[in-house]
């Protein structure tokens, strides 16, 4: 294992409730009677990307208007308003990172293990989420940051992972990805990257059969991972734990019959 690749929304932080509230605030601001409750938003998360999610919903309820010549421009304007509302909810560290994320990133930085981001979220959303826990120069912690501006093709396509691997200069089989959703897992696996999944309330019903490991979270010393309670020495996920799991996955692949 030579590098780590992190998804963002749902993986670094449990952001989806803040996103849902921001979408609804944007709809209200422009006078739309749309409202995405939790069950509906859970289904809409199968569509990767905020703009794509708006357009998909619009096409479902008003297919003719959503096919108009100015549809893309309207969606972009609405998404920009949504991004402003999201920033207001997240700015100042009001949305904490998930357990173990800050610790694992610091450990990787301190030991020289390169880390990358592979996400479908926007650069603005990244800045507002990560500037508080890691400082305004948070990007220096990452060898590569691949986001919605990197590739037009969203997960579950592997394009953003291919971009991250190219920037890292590391083979897919020598990395571990950290994801929270089925779309993210499918994207990482399509790129050949073994993946650890930490689902959220919005994604825990997804299928994770191809994951290297599925855990409630990465844990910390004072917040152990429930699935690791039987491992006396390791109740949270660190680089040593990831290397061990990666080694097991590599061995299983090597021993698989042709």
Terminal Cα distance for the chain, rounded: 24
Alpha carbons within 13 A on the beta-carbon side of 254: 7
Residue count (the chain): 258
As annotated, the active-site residues are: 7, 9
Beta-carbon contacts of residue 24 (< 8 Å; ≥ 6 apart): 34, 35, 36
Are the CB atoms for 163 and 146 separated by under 8 Å? yes
Dihedrals φ, ψ of 179, to 5°? -135, 170
Q: Which sign does the torsion angle of CA 64, 66, 71, 72 carry?
A: negative
CA distances 88 to 33, 92, 129, 165, 204, Å, are 22, 9, 11, 32, 27
């Amino acid at each position: 294992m030579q590098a780590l690749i992190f998804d963002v929304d749902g993986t670094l932080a449990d952001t989806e409730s803040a996103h849902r509230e921001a979408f609804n605030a944007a709809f209200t601001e422009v006078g739309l009677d749309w409202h995405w409750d939790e069950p509906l938003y859970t289904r809409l998360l199968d569509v990767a990307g905020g703009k794509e999610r708006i357009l998909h919903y619009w096409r479902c309820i008003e297919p003719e208007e959503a096919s108009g010549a100015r549809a893309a421009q309207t969606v972009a304007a609405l998404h920009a308003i949504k991004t402003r509302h999201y920033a207001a909810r997240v700015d100042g560290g009001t949305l904490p990172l998930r357990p173990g994320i800050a610790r694992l990133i610091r450990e990787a930085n301190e030991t020289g293990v390169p880390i990358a981001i592979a996400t479908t979220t926007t650069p603005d959303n990244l800045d507002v989420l990560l500037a508080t826990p890691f400082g305004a120069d948070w990007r220096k912690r990452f060898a590569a940051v691949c986001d919605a501006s990197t590739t037009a093709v969203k997960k579950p396509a592997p394009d953003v992972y291919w971009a991250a691997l190219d920037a890292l200069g590391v083979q897919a089989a020598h990395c571990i990805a950290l994801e929270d959703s089925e779309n993210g897992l499918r994207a990482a696996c399509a790129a050949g990257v073994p993946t650890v999944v930490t689902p959220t309330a919005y994604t825990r019903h997804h299928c994770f059969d191809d994951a290297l490991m599925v855990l409630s979270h990465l844990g910390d010393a004072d917040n152990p991972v429930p699935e690791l309670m039987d491992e006396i020495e390791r109740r949270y996920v660190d680089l040593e734990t990831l290397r061990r799991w990666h080694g097991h996955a590599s061995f299983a692949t090597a021993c698989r019959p042709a």
